[in-house]
């Protein structure tokens, strides 16, 4: 049972015409937007639509595709119990605006995305590796990073 808002994509389409495309998903309303629209759209979702919890920020690596990465935000309205998924596509050396201004809780998941995928966030207060040592080479969750193996230098 879920309480997802079925009209949210319609309301967003009125406010942001041509700002996004909706994506079919089995579990919750999903939309794919652009980097330029991201901050204004997130601001609107948090303040007007009351999506006050950003549950997760994560990255999916679709290796041969261009742009290569997909950044996924899971938003949650804690009063209506509605969920929403916002996605953008990011290329390998492109910068993404950080969401830490809107949700301070995006701090660590964005650092994790930087650590394990090498996504660069603009405006992040402390963009350093979080799990791996600072001198680690490469970003392990990328699809071209091997699962096992010995380094040969």
125 binds another protein (CB under 8 A): no
Identify the residue among 36, 40, 47, 60 touching another protein (CB under 8 A).
60
53 binds another protein (CB under 8 A): yes
Q: What is the nearest approach in angstroms of another protein to the Cβ of residue 14?
A: 26
Q: Are the CB atoms for 75 and 86 separated by under 8 Å? A: yes
Which parts of the chain are beta strand (E)? Answer: 20-23, 30-33, 53-61, 69-77, 82-90, 95-97, 120-122
Q: What is the nearest approach in angstroms of another protein to the Cβ of residue 96?
A: 18
The candidate with the shortest Cα–Cα distance to 110, out of 102, 47, 118, is 118
The candidate with the shortest Cα–Cα distance to 141, out of 108, 110, 107, 114, is 114
61 binds another protein (CB under 8 A): yes
C-beta of 66 vs 128, nearer to another protein: 128
39 binds another protein (CB under 8 A): no
């Amino acid at each position: 049972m879920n309480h997802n808002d079925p009209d949210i994509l319609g309301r967003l389409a009125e406010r942001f015409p041509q700002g996004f495309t909706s994506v079919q998903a089995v579990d919750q309303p999903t939309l794919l937007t652009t980097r330029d629209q991201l901050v204004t759209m997130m601001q609107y979702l948090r303040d007007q639509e009351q999506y006050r919890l950003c549950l997760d920020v994560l990255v999916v690596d679709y290796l041969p595709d261009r742009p290569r990465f997909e950044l996924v935000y899971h938003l949650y309205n804690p009063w209506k119990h509605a969920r929403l998924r916002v996605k953008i596509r990011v290329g390998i050396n492109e910068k993404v605006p950080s969401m830490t201004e809107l949700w301070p809780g995006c701090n660590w998941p964005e650092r994790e995305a930087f650590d394990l995928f090498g996504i660069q966030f603009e405006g992040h207060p402390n963009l350093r590796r979080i799990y791996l040592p600072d001198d680690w080479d490469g970003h392990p969750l990328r699809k071209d990073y091997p699962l096992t193996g010995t380094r040969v230098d």
